[in-house]
C-alpha cells in the first residue's frame, strides 16, 4: 500500500496541534480512499494519541483516549482503580483519595470501581507525530487487508480480471480494483509476454489472510483456469447439463479435458468445440495457442485410456486398480504417438485418469511375459524339485507360486493332464514343507537382525517386508511409526528446482499409498497410545 497524502497532512496536523474539524475531515478522507470503516480509522487515531500520551505522562499509566464522533473533541483520561491498599500508584487509588478527586460522586464510589482523571491536551513534537503516523498507518493497513480478504475470499476458485500494474522479479502484480493480486512467475504460461497496462485474466486459487505482502494469488497455468474458461464459454457447462470430469495441462503447449453429459441427446465434445470451433478457439486464443484435446468421459476405463492416448491405436489395456497402474500394449508404429513429444501425451493422459501409465510394445510385452513364465517355472523347479516339463505345466495352468499350490487341493491339481492325484498330493506336501522352511529361515533372519516382536506382530506386515526393514535399520515399532508413506513406497522430492526420485523401502512389494498409510497409522496407534 502506498503512502497516502493524507498521512502527511495528518503528521502536519499533529505537529501544530490537534484541529478538531480537520481531524474529522481526514477520517472521512482516509475511510473513503481505502474503502474501510470510518470507525476503524478513528480507532487507529485514538491508539496513536494514546501512544503519544503514554510517552508524555509515563508508560506505567493506564490511559484511555476517545474522539467524539460528532464534534471531534479529544478526551485524554487516566484510569485509576479504587483499592483498599495501593500497590501501584500509577494505576490504583484509595477510596478516600478517590472521593477527594471526585467529590460529586462520594456516595456512589466503592472499592473495585474505576475513576477517570482528565489529563491536559498534549502538544506533539516531531518524533511523537512520526510515531503516531506509524501507528495510524499500521492500523489502516491492517484494516485495508482485512477488507480485501473479506471482499475476495468468496471469489476464490473464480476467474478474475484486472490491469497489470507492475512487474516484480518475474511476478506480475494485477490491479483488481479494490485490491492487488499476484501472478507468481511459475503460475504464468511459459513464454507469454505480459506488459504493464495490459488487461489480463487469471484463476484465483488462494486468498490468504496476511498482513504483509500479497494475499490474493492468481494463476494462468493452473488446470482449473482452463476449466473455468470452459465454464464461461460453454452455456451447457454453466447450466450443469455438461460436467467437466478432469483436466490436465502442460501450460502453453497442450491440455486434455474430460467432459460428460447425462443427457444422451447432448454431445458434450461438440458443445465444447462449438460451431466451427468458435468456443474452443476463444479459449485457445486466451491461452496463446495452447492445443486442447476434448475427450468424452466414460466409466469404461480401457475406452477412456484409449481416447486419452489418441491418436495412438491401443491393442490391450491391463489395469491394476489396487496400485492405480495401467499397462498399455501397442505396436511399434504407435509407440511414438502414444508417448508424444517429450512424453507429453502419456503424461497428460496419466494426470487426466489419475493412473500411472506404462507403455509397452507388443514385442516388449511378449518378452516380459516370457521372462515371468521362465522365472516362475525356475522357482517351482528349485523349491519343489520337479522337472522342467512339470514346472512349465503348473505355471501354464495358473499355479504361479508355491503358496498357490500349498493352498490348493489334490482334486484341483489332478485336473491337469499328466498329473494324477498321488502326484498332486506330493506337490502340495512339498509346497507346505517349503513354506515352513522358508518361514523358519526368515524368523531366524529377523532374530539376527534384531527386529522387535512389536513390529513383527503388526497386522499387514509380511516377513519379506520385515527383513527389508531390518536391513534398513528399522527394527522397532516406533521407528516404523515415524516413517512417511513416501519412504515406504517411493515418491519425489525437490532439489534445486528439480524433482528427484526417492526409492521406497518396500517399493518391491507394490503397496498402494492407502495400504502404506494404513500400516503407518496402525503402528502409530499402538506406539503412541
Residue 2 gets which letter from DSSP?
Answer: P
Are 471 and 519 found together in one domain? Answer: yes
- Length, in residues, of the chain: 529
Are 96 and 76 found together in one domain? Answer: yes
| Residue numbers of the chain with a pLDDT score lower than 50 | 1-18, 128
Are 179 and 59 found together in one domain? Answer: no
Backbone angles phi, psi at 199, to 5 degrees: -85, 135
Tell whether 227 is covered by a domain: no
User: Which tens digit of pLDDT belongs to each residue from 365-400?
Assistant: 888 889 989 999 998 999 888 899 888 999 888 888
Instruction: Calculate the dihedral angle through the C-alpha atoms of 168, 291, 336, 314, rounding to the nearest 10 degrees.
Output: 130
Rg of the Cα atoms in the chain: 37
Residues 6+ apart with CB under 8 A from 382: none
What is the bridge-based pairing of β-strands 356-361 and 325-330?
parallel
Q: List the beta bridge partners of residue 485.
A: none
Angle between helices 20-34 and 38-57 (to 10 degrees): 130
Query: How high is the pLDDT of residue 9?
Result: 47
Tell whether 467 is covered by a domain: yes
What is the bridge-based pairing of β-strands 92-94 and 74-83?
parallel
Are 177 and 121 found together in one domain? Answer: no
What CATH number is associated with residue 186? Answer: 2.40.50.140
Are 42 and 97 found together in one domain? Answer: yes
Angle among Cα 333, 339, 344 to the nearest 5 degrees reads 150
Residue whose C-alpha is closest to residue 525's, from 463, 477, 466:
477
Tell whether 166 is covered by a domain: yes
Query: How high is the pLDDT of residue 162?
Result: 94
Q: Three-state secondary structure along 262-284?
A: CCCCCCHHHHHHCHHHHHHHHHH
Tell whether 294 is covered by a domain: no
Angle between helices 421-449 and 362-384 (to 10 degrees): 90
Is residue 243 within 8 A of residue 260, CB to CB? The reply is yes
Tell whether 493 is covered by a domain: yes
Q: Which domain holds residue 478?
A: 450-529
pTM of the model: 0.61
Q: Three-state secondary structure along 139-161?
A: HHHHHHHHHHHHHHHHHCCCEEE
Q: How far apart are CA 348 and CA 254, in angstroms?
A: 9
Are 211 and 128 found together in one domain? Answer: no
Residue at which a domain ends, from 221, 249, 270: 221
Tell whether 527 is covered by a domain: yes
- How far separated are the first and last CA of the chain, in Å rounded? 50
Are 141 and 103 found together in one domain? Answer: yes
Tell whether 205 is covered by a domain: yes
Residue whose C-alpha is closest to residue 404's, from 368, 434, 374, 375:
434
- DSSP string covering 345-394, please? HHHHHHHHHTSEEEEEEHHHHHHHHHHHHHHHHHHHHHHHT--HHHHHHH
Are 122 and 172 found together in one domain? Answer: no
Tell whether 520 is covered by a domain: yes
Are 40 and 113 found together in one domain? Answer: yes
Q: List the beta bridge partners of residue 82.
A: 93
Angle between helices 278-286 and 223-233 (to 10 degrees): 140
Q: How far apart are CA 498 and CA 496, in angstroms?
A: 6
3 state SS of 294: strand
Q: Looking at 87-125, list the stretches that DSSP marks H as alpha helix, in order from N- to C-terminal side.
A: 95-101
Q: How far apart are CA 44 and CA 500, in angstroms?
A: 50
How many CB atoms are closer than 10 A to CB 314? 20
Residue at which a domain ends, from 188, 221, 254: 221
Are 122 and 164 found together in one domain? Answer: no
Are 135 and 176 found together in one domain? Answer: no
Are 90 and 17 found together in one domain? Answer: yes
Is residue 201 within 8 A of residue 286, CB to CB? The reply is yes
Indicate the number of domains in the chain. Answer: 3
CA distances from 71 to 40, 67, 224, 253 (A): 17, 8, 53, 64
Q: How far apart are CA 45 and CA 7, in angstroms?
A: 11
How many CB atoms are closer than 10 A to CB 363? 11
For the sheet with 291-296, list strands across it: 243-250, 254-260, 291-296
3 state SS of 78: strand
Residue 4 gets which letter from DSSP?
Answer: P
Residue 504 gets which letter from DSSP?
Answer: -
Taking CB atoms within 8 Å and a gap of at least 24, the contacts of 347-351 are 347/250, 348/248, 348/249, 348/250, 348/254, 348/255, 348/256, 348/293, 348/308, 349/248, 349/256, 349/305, 349/308, 349/309, 350/248, 351/246, 351/248, 351/256
Angle between helices 344-353 and 332-339 (to 10 degrees): 70
Helix (H) or strand (E) holding 256: strand 254-260
User: Which tens digit of pLDDT belongs to each residue from 79-129?
Assistant: 888 888 888 888 888 888 888 888 877 778 888 888 888 888 776 555 545
Instruction: Calculate the dihedral angle through the C-alpha atoms of 169, 171, 174, 178, rounding to the nearest 10 degrees.
Output: -80
Dihedral angle sign, alpha carbons of residues 208, 214, 218, 221? negative
How many CB atoms are closer than 10 A to CB 281? 14
Residue at which a domain ends, from 146, 180, 195: 146
Amino acid at each position: 500500500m502506498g503512502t497516502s497524502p493524507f498521512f502527511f497532512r495528518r503528521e502536519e496536523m499533529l505537529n501544530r496541534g490537534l484541529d478538531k474539524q480537520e481531524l474529522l475531515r481526514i477520517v472521512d478522507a482516509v475511510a473513503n480512499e481505502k474503502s474501510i470503516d470510518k470507525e476503524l480509522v478513528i480507532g487507529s487515531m485514538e491508539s496513536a494519541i494514546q501512544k503519544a500520551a503514554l510517552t508524555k505522562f509515563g508508560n506505567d499509566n493506564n490511559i484511555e483516549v476517545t474522539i467524539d464522533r460528532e464534534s471531534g473533541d479529544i478526551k485524554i483520561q487516566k484510569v485509576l482503580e479504587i483499592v483498599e491498599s495501593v500497590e501501584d500508584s500509577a494505576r490504583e487509588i484509595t477510596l478516600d483519595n478517590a472521593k477527594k478527586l471526585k467529590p460529586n460522586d462520594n456516595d456512589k464510589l466503592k472499592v473495585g470501581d474505576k475513576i477517570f482523571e482528565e489529563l491536559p491536551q498534549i502538544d506533539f513534537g516531531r518524533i511523537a507525530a512520526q510515531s503516531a503516523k506509524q501507528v495510524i498507518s499500521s492500523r489502516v493497513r491492517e484494516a485495508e487487508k482485512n477488507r480485501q480478504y473479506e471482499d475476495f475470499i468468496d471469489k476464490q476458485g473464480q476467474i478474475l480480471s484486472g490491469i497489470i500494474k507492475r512487474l516484480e522479479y518475474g511476478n506480475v502484480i494485477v490491479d483488481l480494483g479494490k485490491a492487488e493480486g499476484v501472478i507468481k512467475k511459475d503460475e504464468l504460461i511459459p513464454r507469454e509476454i505480459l506488459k504493464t497496462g495490459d488487461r489480463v485474466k487469471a484463476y484465483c486459487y488462494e486468498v490468504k489472510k496476511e498482513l504483509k505482502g500479497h494475499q490474493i494469488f492468481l494463476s494462468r497455468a493452473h488446470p482449473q483456469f482452463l476449466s473455468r474458461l470452459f465454464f464461461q464459454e460453454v452455456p451447457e457447462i454453466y447450466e450443469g447439463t455438461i460436467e467437466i470430469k478432469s483436466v490436465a495441462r502442460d501450460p502453453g503447449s497442450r491440455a486434455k479435458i474430460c467432459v460428460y453429459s447425462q443427457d444422451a441427446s447432448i454431445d458434450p465434445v461438440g458443445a465444447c468445440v462449438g460451431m466451427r470451433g468458435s468456443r474452443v478457439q476463444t479459449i485457445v486464443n486466451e491461452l496463446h495457442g495452447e492445443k486442447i484435446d476434448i475427450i468424452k468421459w466414460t466409466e469404461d476405463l480401457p475406452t477412456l485410456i484409449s481416447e486419452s492416448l489418441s491418436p495412438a491405436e491401443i491393442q490391450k489395456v491391463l489395469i491394476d486398480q489396487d496400485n492405480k497402474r495401467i499397462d498399455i500394449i501397442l505396436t511399434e508404429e504407435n509407440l511414438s504417438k502414444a508417448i508424444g513429444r517429450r512424453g507429453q501425451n502419456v503424461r497428460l493422459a496419466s494426470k487426466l485418469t489419475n493412473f500411472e501409465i506404462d507403455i509397452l510394445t507388443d514385442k516388449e510385452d511378449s518378452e516380459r511375459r516370457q521372462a515371468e513364465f521362465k522365472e516362475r517355472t525356475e522357482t517351482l523347479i528349485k523349491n519343489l524339485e520337479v522337472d522342467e516339463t512339470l514346472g512349465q505345466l503348473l505355471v501354464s495352468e495358473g499355479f504361479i507360486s508355491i503358496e498357490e499350490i500349498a493352498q490348493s487341493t489334490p482334486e484341483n491339481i489332478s485336473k491337469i493332464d499328466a498329473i494324477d492325484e498321488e502326484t498332486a498330493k506330493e506337490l502340495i506336501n512339498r509346497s507346505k514343507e517349503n513354506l515352513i522352511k522358508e518361514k523358519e529361515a526368515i524368523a531366524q533372519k529377523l532374530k539376527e537382525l534384531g527386529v522387535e516382536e512389536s513390529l513383527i506382530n503388526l497386522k499387514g506386515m509380511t516377513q519379506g517386508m520385515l527383513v527389508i526393514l531390518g536391513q534398513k535399520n528399522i527394527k522397532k515399532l516406533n521407528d516404523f511409526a515415524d516413517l512417511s508413506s513416501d519412504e515406504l513406497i517411493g515418491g519425489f522430492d525437490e532439489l534445486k528446482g528439480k524433482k528427484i526420485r526417492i526409492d521406497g523401502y518396500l517399493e518391491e512389494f507394490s503397496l498402494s499409498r492407502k495400504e502404506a498409510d494404513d500400516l503407518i497409522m496402525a503402528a502409530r496407534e499402538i506406539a503412541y497410545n
